[in-house]
């Protein structure tokens, strides 16, 4: 399927998300290999089917340690380390809370408060035991569940980038639904890739503006992608691990620009928890990250843009740096 002259777009639905691969040579066989690779990765990390590597760990919770492959161990090790950072909004053991709320799935409801507090007792990342020598993972309490939904797409986007590079591709874009990773810049557009920043809750494809990046990943986490409305509130899928409820602050979305999509995915969640003021201060100390916050009071707040350019399109929102 070609979208523009000289651009070859290939799409699929994997991981419950629309996937788009853009190439500049017609190469359906390469596209098939990319989708196959994503499928293999999904089979390792999904918690939506019983037979993944992550589900093997979850099913053995409270009973025994499970030996996993090196890439699975490594991603869990990273997710665990991020979860143990001081005041972290990221928690790899958020699984029981995610499963109970079912946001984005059939049967979503606001659970009773007592149930949420009972489930929170199963979300202590200190109760994950990692043994690097044995490459094993053990969840100490029965009912605990690892959920890598906030990090796995980022990791997989980097796996695809590495695969394309290995195949000799120098210009490509992969979009895993919220996680964009790029190679080089498009031909005839040396300034880079154009990546749209969606208008929150817009019913069409309206954009707040367009980011321009080269050889960077752009990851967005927003409350408007998976949510439901009940009691005049928006219940979305980014949970506050301290309360078991959707994170409730001034934000509608966080976009991170970084080399690795893995970092983008990790930091969208961490910065979501930090909010605008603390988040901007944090990113100022990190030469490798840029961030765009979109707030409930209609502001687009950018860190000093080192790795991207932003062209505003919707001027009813206030842009500030
Ligand atoms: P992010 O903000 O990056 O992550 C939000 C997700 O992270 C939540 O959905 C939850 O899973 C988890 N999470 C929530 N709060 C926290 C927290 N505080 N700390 C850590 N993690 C948190 N969707 C389907 O509809 N059907 C599928 O079959 C399906 N299969 C998938 C398989 C894989 C391997 C992956 C990675 C995702 C799959 N998804 C599926 C999508 C998944 O359910 C999440 O919606 C998606 O991963 C969210 O990613 P995001 O980048 O939009 O949001
Ligand atoms: Mg993500
Ligand atoms: Mg994330």
What is the position in ligand 1's atom list of the atom closest to the CA of 226?
45
**Quick one: which of 124, 100, 150 has its CA closest to 241?**
124
pLDDT tens for 40-79 read 999 999 999 999 999 999 999 999 999 999 999 999 999 9
pLDDT tens for 83-132 read 999 999 999 999 999 999 999 888 898 999 999 999 999 999 999 999 99
Nearest CA to ligand 1 atom 7: 150
Average pLDDT of the segment spanning 5-14: 93
pLDDT tens for 185-199 read 998 888 899 999 999
Nearest CA to ligand 1 atom 25: 16
Judge if the beta carbon of residue 104 lies within 6 A of ligand 1.
Answer: yes
CA distance 262 to 181: 10
ipTM above 0.90, yes or no: yes
Q: Tell me the ligand closest to 108's alpha carbon.
A: 1
Is residue 107 within 8 Å of 25, Cβ to Cβ? no
Nearest CA to ligand 1 atom 30: 15
CA distance 123 to 128: 10
Judge if the beta carbon of residue 90 lies within 6 A of ligand 1.
Answer: yes
Reported confidence tier of residue 3, pLDDT bands at 50, 70, 90: low
Q: What is the DSSP-derived secondary structure letter of residue 239?
A: B
pLDDT the model gives residue 232: 87
């Amino acid at each position: 399927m070609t979208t523009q002259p000289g651009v070859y777009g290939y799409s699929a639905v994997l991981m419950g998300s629309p996937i788009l691969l853009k190439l500049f040579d017609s190469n359906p066989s390469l596209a098939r290999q990319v989708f196959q690779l994503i499928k293999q990765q999904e089979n390792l990390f999904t918690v939506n089917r019983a037979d993944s590597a992550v589900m093997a760990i979850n099913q053995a919770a409270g009973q025994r340690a499970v030996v996993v492959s090196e890439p699975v161990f490594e991603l869990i090790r990273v997710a665990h380390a991020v979860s143990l950072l001081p005041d972290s909004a990221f928690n790899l053991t958020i699984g029981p809370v995610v499963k109970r709320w079912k946001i984005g799935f059939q049967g979503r409801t606001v659970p009773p408060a007592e149930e949420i507090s009972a489930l929170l007792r199963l979300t202590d990342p200190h109760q994950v035991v990692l043994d690097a020598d044995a490459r094993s993972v053990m969840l100490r309490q029965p009912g605990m569940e690892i959920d890598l939904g906030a990090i796995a797409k980022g990791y997989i986007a980097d796996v695809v980038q590495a695969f394309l590079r290995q195949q000799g591709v120098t210009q490509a874009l992969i979009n895993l639904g919220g996680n964009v990773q790029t190679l080089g810049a498009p031909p005839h557009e040396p300034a880079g890739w154009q990546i749209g920043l969606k208008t929150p809750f817009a019913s069409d494809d309206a954009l707040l503006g367009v980011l321009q990046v080269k050889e960077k990943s752009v990851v967005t986490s927003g409350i408007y992608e998976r949510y439901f409305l009940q009691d005049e509130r928006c219940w979305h899928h980014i949970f506050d691990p301290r309360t078991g409820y959707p994170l409730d602050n001034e934000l509608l979305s966080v976009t991170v620009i970084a080399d690795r999509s893995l970092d983008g995915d990790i930091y969208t969640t961490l910065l979501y928890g930090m909010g605008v003021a603390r988040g901007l201060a944090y990113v100022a100390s990190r030469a490798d990250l840029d961030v765009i916050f979109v707030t409930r009071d209609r502001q687009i707040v950018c860190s000093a843009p080192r790795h991207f350019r932003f062209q505003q399109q919707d001027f009813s929102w206030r842009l500030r740096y």
